[in-house]
Each structure stands twice: as C-alpha cells, then as structure tokens.
Structure 1
C-alpha cells in the first residue's frame, strides 16, 4: 500500500473535499499535485469526473511540488503534476520524476511541438508573451522583440525580473533564433531602455503603464483577461483599458508562446486513471473549457479561441519546438546575470 494523501501545512493547500487519508492506490481516483490555482482547474476536473466516474484529489502549491515528488520517491501519492511554463515542465523531467505518456489519443490531439520528444510532458494550453502598449502614448500597431532594443524606447519599457520563468523563456527563444552573442547584445540594450529596475508581476507592468511610468511592457496574454474581468478589483479593469495588445513578430516567425501542461509521475499509483485524465485534458471539450476559463489558447487544432481572446487580435505562434527553447534556459539565466539585467538601466 502506497502512502496516502495527507493533510499538508505551510505552502500546500488542500482543495478537494474528503481529501485527507484517501488511499492513493484506491480504484476510481487520480491524485494531482498542481501549480495551477484550484479555481482554474476545478471546472475541468468536475467535467472529467462526470464523464468517467473517476474522482480527483488535488494538492495545490505555488512552489516546491516537483521537489516534493522527488523526495517522496516510490511512496509519492501523486499521479500527475499540473504546471505552467516550459521551464517547470522540462524541470520535472530533469528531476527524474516523470515517465512517458504513451497514448495515441494524446498524440493525435496535441501537436508534436507542444509535446516532449520523449513523451515526458504534454502541453495543454498556450499563452503568448506579448507587448502591452499604452493607448495614449504608443501609436504603432506592430512590433518585434528585436525592436525592444531600439533607442527610441529608452526609458519607456517595463518588465518583471529577468530571472522569472516567463522572461527566461523569452530570452531562451531569442538565443534559439539568434545565438548567445547577439542575444546578449539585445538584452543589454533592452536593459538600457528600461524605465526602472524590473519588478512586480505582469499585472504590475500594466499598472505602471496606466500610471505613466512606462509606455510598453512585456506580459502574458491571459493576464489581460484576468484584469478585464476582475470585478473584485475594478481598478485592474482601468489598467487593462489603458493598453493595447501587440503580438510581436506577427509578420515574421511569430510570437513566443509558452505552455501550461502536465506530466505523468514516475511512480504514479493510479497510472491508468492518470492517463485517462491526460487524454481528457487533451480533448476538444476540455480544451474549450480550459481556454474559456483561463483566457488561454487551445493547443488542440480546431478548438476555437474564446471570444474575449479573439478581440485582442490574431496570434501567429512561433512554431519553434519548445523543447529546443528549453535547452537554452540555462544560458538565458546566465545572460541575465552577465548583463546585470535586474539592476536596471546602466547609468
């Protein structure tokens, strides 16, 4: 008998009823460790249970789940790990806590460039790393990532930390396209165009544009949806209304996209049920639910984009396999430190 799911304290929060002390090897269940917040995935899990009768048990945390699975080893109750960003997906593979997902259904639903070549992670939805632009102070309606280094943007750019997963992913994609030397030059020029030291999350960058601290900023598409629909904090709706979405490199290679995704754990006690859940998450029904709930882009071909997301403009995604971008993440992180990106613009 494997270890049961236990009540967890500290950073971990239980999100399923009747969760504690559920035998991980029990029939008709699947145990999920999730970096995705409960409200984002609960509609999907309810739909899965309604369709299959398989119950879902969820542990949520903002960090440390991959390391927890590694520490638990063969006794881990986790069947799958839900996460965001290619860094965390590939990181789980590098930790040795995954096993390949062998499923013709998944392979048929999810395009190859959104899957690990060895099957160790599966992309579920994508989000683009776009430019938020002030409606009042920016007239142009096209831009490239390379343009961010143009001196005309000096003192006008905001972004979050260069070491954040989202920023590292973009820099890694630049390395994959241009090589380290040119990317280093580009990154140093972007640093000198910053209005201030990198700080805050993606929403904070839009707030900074609203406040007049900068004119353009990097961010993920889905944050626009979260701000536009935030009735509890209506000031965020005002921030969102102050910017337009620009899709970088739309006339060329396309915009950098990243993923939310899933891995099957190495010692999954409910492997068959876990694969059924992964197959369901790759289905048209789940992809539509996922995209509409989270303002993200479906990765299953033919599934429509939510109307709100369509209103931001057409996304042409960069088709460079994310596995190739993942290979450049270490080099990207080193460049951030090398140029002192998080120190802000050079004096």
Structure 2
C-alpha cells in the first residue's frame, strides 16, 4: 500500500483523491484489467514524487513494451506492487537507466504527467547527451521548477545563447519563445555590433516585461543599420541610433524615444527618416503598398523644433522627392468645386492636406 506520508492532498475528512488523467489513465486501466491489482486508487492518493516516478515508468513501457532485464522475473502483478512500494528514484533508474539528475528532474514534474510519453524519453536524451546545446538544456532542466512539457518545447525552440536558467524561467510558453526568436533575428539584422550574448543578458535582467520596449531600447543602444534607402544629392538618411538621438534634439519630434516607435518603424522598414541637405528640414517617409508593389510616400516635412516650412520650400522639396519616385499624397476634390467649399465641408482630417494638390 502507498505509505500515509505520501498523501499529496488532505482535507479535514482525510486525503483528497486525484485520479491521474491524460494518456496515463488508459494505461492504468489496462494494467488493472490485466493484473487484477488496484493501481489507480493508490496513485490517486500518492504524493507527487511517487506519481511522477510511476508515470515515467509507464511512459517507458509505452515506448518499449516489456519489463527491463532487472525486472524481467517479476510477474505483472508483482510489477504493479513494486511501483507502489519501491523508492521513486529506483523506479526511474530501473526503467530509464542510471542517468545523472534524471530522478530529481522527474520528481519536479509534480502530480500530473507530461503531455506525451515521448517527453520522458526526451528528458533522458537531454540529460544524457554531451553536446554543448544539450548540456545547456540540461542545466536549465536541473534548475527548473516545475518541469513541464511546455518547458521542453521552450528549450527546443530557443537558440543556444538563450539556454540560461534565468532566461528560460522568464519565458512562460513556447509561443513566447517563438516571438523572442523572431524579434532576435530582426534586432541582429538591424544592429551589426549586437551579439546574442548581449540580448541574453538583457533578457536575464527582465527585458521580457515588454517586447516593444525591449526592442526599442536595444535599437537605441545598438542600431546602426536602420535604413535600406541610399543617400542622394538632396537626402541624408538616418541609419544609426546616434543620428536619431542627434536629430531628435534638433527637430523636437521624439525620434529617439522608445515609446514613440519611430526607431522601431525605421528598423522594420515601415518608415524612413532623412535630413534635407540644403537647409535644416526633416523628411519623414512611410513605405506603402498598392497590392502589386511597394512605394515610398512623404508623410511629413518640418524644420527645427517642428517649425512649419514656407510654401515655396515645401513645394521645392516635394518636387525633388517626386523626381526620385517618392510621392506626396493628398486628398483632393472634384474639378469645378471651389477649394474653399471643399475645405469647409469635406469630412477629412486634417483638411489642410487638400492644398497639396494645388501646390504640386
């Protein structure tokens, strides 16, 4: 019988049973039917360490039917009794081999089984393999609490630099691990001096609290490949965090603020920012698509401290942009309708964009 001290759950009326679920329950039902020995009831009252060891044993039998040589002489009903009485660590070793740290890791799975029997074999592989990646994964497993199938998926999806206990603890789901990997590829593409170890340290320090802020701060520190448009005789594009910081102060438009999203937009290629070479003017572009291809559109022009430009200067800059293939779009109105009437009555915000078609 299962010792009283192994009871996992108690109430004022005695132990509260917890019947195992998932893939384990059909296996237990088959064992009970074959041997005539009760196993579900005792396990429902057993502590987490025994339950986790028994589930690991059943997983081994699911993948490789038949008892291991050390237990080959036991009748099947004797095997059931052994599962309920042997030391949990001895159960794990008998079914999975003498793998350093395996019994401790399995004990931290808790009262519920892993999602699939194959997950136990994966644990054995990770703790036995001596290649560098597996050793990093094993280190994370040994320090994880609890050990779950979700954790195994996370360890599988993260790159080697992120296989650190402090990073893995902060990642709750495999979906989050996927997002981190995608963002990492993007950041490394935009920051030539950035390393995976730099990013791993930032994740250990709590950067996962907000993905947007994490990416923005990394770009503000390391960004140096933030634009794919070439300079020309009129435009000097902002490509580095240093340039964003310098022009942010000059033009007063929060270019270098993490919350503004401008440096993220530039790195993503959604937007581009350039300085007009002839007089101080900041040119803001946005990349758009008509479904067949992409095009650049001028979103805004302004001088230092967000000063408005003269009509002539704005017209000259927009004409130069148009020669390069950069459009200036504006809402317009039907021919024959006076501009003042359209400006007064059109439900367009801001209505001043109507003037662009007249100035062009």
TM bin, normalised by shorter chain, reads under 0.3
Greater percentage in helix: 2
Q: Which has the larger radius of gyration?
A: 2
Normalising by structure 2, what TM-score?
Answer: 0.21
